[in-house]
Amino acid sequence: MAAAALHDRESLSCSVCLDVFRNPVTIPCGHSFCKDCITCLWDKDVRRCPQCKQSFPNKPALTDWLQMKEEEDEEDAEAHEVSCDSCTSRRTRAVQSCLTCVSSFCRAHLEKHNELFRWRKHPLTEATDLQSKTCSLHGRLMDVFCRTDQKCVCLLCALHEHKNHHSVSASEERADRQRKLMETREKFLQNVRDREKDFQELKQAEESVTCSAQTAVSESERIFSEVLCSVQKTSVCVTELIAERQREELSHIEGLQEKVQQKISDLRLKMSELDPFLTTEDHIHFLQNYPSDCEESTSEESEDLSNISENPKAFFCNVELLLSKLQERLMHVTKETAIKIKSGAKVQIKSSQGPAQRDQKDVFRFGEPVSEYNFSFQHVPSESTSVEASGSDPETCKHEDEGTLDYKPVVPLPDLVELLTGEEKEQVVFSHRAKLYRYDRESQQWKERGIGELKILQDHERRRARLVMRRKQVLKLCANHWITANMKLEPIKASEKAWTWSALDFADGDGSVQTLAVRFRLQETADAFKKCFEEAAVTLLTGAERDEDFEGAVRSRKGKLYPDAVDGHDAGAATETLNHKEDENNDDDDDEDDEDDDYEDEDDDDDDDDDEAVNHVELPSVEENEEEILFSEWTKLFLWDCDVNKWKSCGAGDIKVLFHPVKKRYRVFMCQEGDRKVLVNHCITRTTHSKPVSTNANALSWTAEDYSDGDALVKQFAGKFKTRDLADSFTKALTNCQ
């Protein structure tokens, strides 16, 4: 109805003034406007319709819209009227229809029809369109309903075309469907009653909530007013106590001031008596009249005034401290209460009834009345008294009492589920609440990971330590990585309580190089974390130095040939960390124009200049290392430069996948053609995955902790092979090694 009303309003609105028609007129294109609006518009602008933009060369005549609408309504009414079937000269409106003759008649022809068929009693009805009720095949009135085809038919159709169908009279089908319609209407009516009942219950609930809210508001206002009044009284009382103490101290100080003034006067008098002796030149007179009590008077103890300056100040400072603590407690209680009210925490009401005796109706619900509690007190004799009175064995009484007690829980408890986090076999070296951040390389800013307990766990079996942190309440992993010997904590300039480091973190499942930062509340906690972190790294370093053969091989190569490689797992399993000195870029492959020879030559020149300052790591031949060659193909190597965010060419040569049968380790090794400069030297771990480069089908990229420059550095390599099959073979070799 609202949509229909809106449609009617739009149809009666002028598109020029956007208001209801005032003296509406219609132009030749059929659109209607206010007469003043269209006339004013045509006087200022070209003569065209504002809606369809049809132009008129001359000013067209305006047709009265109301008159045109009346004519259209009359034509529509005439089109829907039933005409007399017997009138030939002019169609006259029919008044009744004969169901036997299947014709409609006006008043004149109806009288003739009645005289003609007076004795046959043809049934007459109000004038209606009999064409839709007549069988198109036999021309008879349809008075039978075929339930098989679900359509109205005439009697001849029921005897021939619908012979074996289930047919009934139209009146019988009407009665049956009317009964079903009444049943449906009754169901709708019942649904209406149910919804009205629900609406009444909702109204009652609304009133109950409103009443309860008003009661809570009034009660909160009363309580807060009482609290404010109590605080005000306490404030007045404290002010009076301070004023009283001030009066006492001032009175005491005034008394001391009088005593001091009196002593000053006495001393001045004695000084005036001594002045004549100092000015006389007669020695005999001086010695004969020298006062004997001069030294005693100067040695008199002066008044102790130290407590005057300390005691009042200590009292007032103590008052300030007590009031500060009171303020902190009030703020804490106010904040905690507001949080509990906001979260809807339930308040446990203490009563004498046990949980088994309390009925569920007695539980407090917001907006509902609470039934009264009936308290009953029973005397329970002690064990010794009951035993002496009965004269029986204490053990017997004990077993009898146990048989009468019921220890079943009120609420059925779920089965005990053993929760394993993987931290059971590890020792907690450090644990403290902290806030963790992670550096987002896309937005170039720090983002908060969460707040929780930051732990450093020591695994004595593997002689390893790892850092684990879970968010509070949800216990979701925020950080989970090994602490390696080459990992260092760097301070953050903005805060003295924060540290940052880089690691290969497995908190999200798959290992990814992340730059993390942690901030503690106190400086002492941050220093303790750094100490434990560095001790864990040193412990790992001393444990690795025990393998003399391994260290000898590493020492000759100016770096670790086989860095420690472990499997990456989820929470509680071993993880692997990588240390780097700057923020790593994302592993997205940037565009590289391999066909630009000038650009590559320029990169090669830059790399040659840089390589002069880097110590080359000369490794012995493959035969001397007794390593098996699993893969060896010529490739052109590129290295991702984080400073310029571009790929730079490192050189070309045979990239090899080697296997050491004694160490059971796999590594990727590559030397520059000609000068045997080491370009790639890293182990293959389960986190080493190659990815195709979008700009070249023959190129692959991967990230690893490389030892080609001596120290371990996280690098992102890209290798361009001669064919796509060779690139796929390299990927397959890495996968097989894993």
Q: Residue 96: its pLDDT value, please?
A: 80
- State the sign of the Cα–Cα–Cα–Cα dihedral 31, 35, 41, 43: positive
Token pair of 86 as six digits = 């017997």
Least confident of 77-91, 194-208, 448-462, 623-637: 77-91
Tens digits of per-residue pLDDT, 141-195? 788 899 899 989 888 898 888 888 998 988 899 899 999 999 999 999 999 999 9
* Maximum distance among all Cα pairs of the chain, rounded to whole angstroms: 185
Q: Residue 193: its pLDDT value, please?
A: 93
Q: Residue 194: its pLDDT value, please?
A: 93
Least confident of 71-75, 370-374, 509-513, 658-662: 370-374
Question: Measured in whole angstroms, how far is the alpha carbon of residue 240 from the centre of its chain?
Answer: 52
- Residue in 642, 700, 699, 632 with CA at minimum distance from that of residue 671: 632
- Residue in 20, 57, 16 with CA at minimum distance from that of residue 39: 16
Q: pLDDT band for position 120 (50/70/90)?
A: low
Q: Residue 546: its pLDDT value, please?
A: 40
Tens digits of per-residue pLDDT, 280-302? 878 787 787 777 666 655 555 55
Q: Say whether pLDDT at 718 is over 80.
A: yes
- Residue in 437, 446, 431, 430 with CA at minimum distance from that of residue 517: 437
Residue 432 backbone dihedrals phi, psi, to 5 degrees: -160, 155
Q: Residue 73: its pLDDT value, please?
A: 66
Q: Residue 7: its pLDDT value, please?
A: 46
Token pair of 640 as six digits = 């991702």
Percent of the chain with pLDDT over 70: 72
Q: pLDDT band for position 405 (50/70/90)?
A: low
pLDDT (mean) for 321-342: 87
Percent of the chain with pLDDT over 90: 18
- Residue in 142, 145, 190 with CA at minimum distance from that of residue 166: 145
d(CA 602, CA 614): 19
Q: Residue 383: its pLDDT value, please?
A: 44
d(CA 88, CA 83): 11
Q: Residue 500: its pLDDT value, please?
A: 93
pLDDT (mean) for 703-726: 88
d(CA 145, CA 130): 17
Least confident of 424-428, 460-464, 678-682: 460-464
- Residue in 372, 718, 707 with CA at minimum distance from that of residue 557: 707
**C-alpha distance across the termini of the chain, in Å:** 71
Averaged confidence pLDDT in the chain:
74
Tens digits of per-residue pLDDT, 560-577? 333 343 333 333 333 333
CA distances from 682 to 541, 557, 702, 706, 708 (A): 19, 12, 11, 5, 8
- Residue in 701, 587, 692, 600 with CA at minimum distance from that of residue 648: 600
Least confident of 34-48, 110-124, 452-466, 479-493: 110-124
Higher local confidence (pLDDT), 667 or 60:
667
Q: pLDDT band for position 513 (50/70/90)?
A: confident
With beta carbons less than 8 A apart as the criterion, state whether 34 and 14 touch: yes
Q: pLDDT band for position 556 (50/70/90)?
A: very low
Token pair of 169 as six digits = 């009279």
DSSP letter at 132? G
Q: Say whether pLDDT at 90 is over 80.
A: no
Listing DSSP states for 537-599 in one string gives: HHHHHHHHTT-HHHHHHHHHTTS-SS-------STTS-------SSPPPPSPPPP--TT-HHH
Token pair of 275 as six digits = 């002045």
With beta carbons less than 8 A apart as the criterion, state whether 170 and 143 touch: yes
Structure-token match 């004595």, residue found: 460
Q: Residue 189: its pLDDT value, please?
A: 93
Question: Kind and range of the H or E element at 713?
Answer: strand 713-720
Q: Say whether pLDDT at 551 is over 60.
A: no
Token pair of 359 as six digits = 């009925």
Could you give all domains of the chain from N- to C-terminal order, each with its CATH number? Answer: 2-80 (3.30.40.10), 427-556 (2.30.29.30), 597-737 (2.30.29.30)
pLDDT (mean) for 136-145: 83
Q: Residue 16: its pLDDT value, please?
A: 80
d(CA 713, CA 705): 5
Q: Residue 184: its pLDDT value, please?
A: 93
pLDDT (mean) for 189-204: 93
Give the angle subtended at the CA of 683 by the CAs of 680 and 688, to the nearest 5°: 95
- Residue in 330, 84, 375, 147 with CA at minimum distance from that of residue 224: 330
Q: What length does the chain have? A: 738
Q: Say whether pLDDT at 517 is over 60.
A: yes
d(CA 153, CA 169): 10
With beta carbons less than 8 A apart as the criterion, state whether 667 and 682 touch: yes
Q: Say whether pLDDT at 732 is over 70.
A: yes
The residue type of 88 is: T
Tens digits of per-residue pLDDT, 588-626? 334 433 433 333 333 344 444 333 333 333 333 434 357
Q: pLDDT band for position 511 (50/70/90)?
A: confident
Q: Residue 119: its pLDDT value, please?
A: 58
Q: Say whether pLDDT at 526 is over 80.
A: yes
Q: pLDDT band for position 413 (50/70/90)?
A: low
Structure-token match 């003739």, residue found: 112
Listing DSSP states for 228-253 in one string gives: HHHHHHHHHHHHHHHHHHHHHHHHHH
- Residue in 344, 351, 402, 394 with CA at minimum distance from that of residue 372: 351
Token pair of 111 as six digits = 């009288």
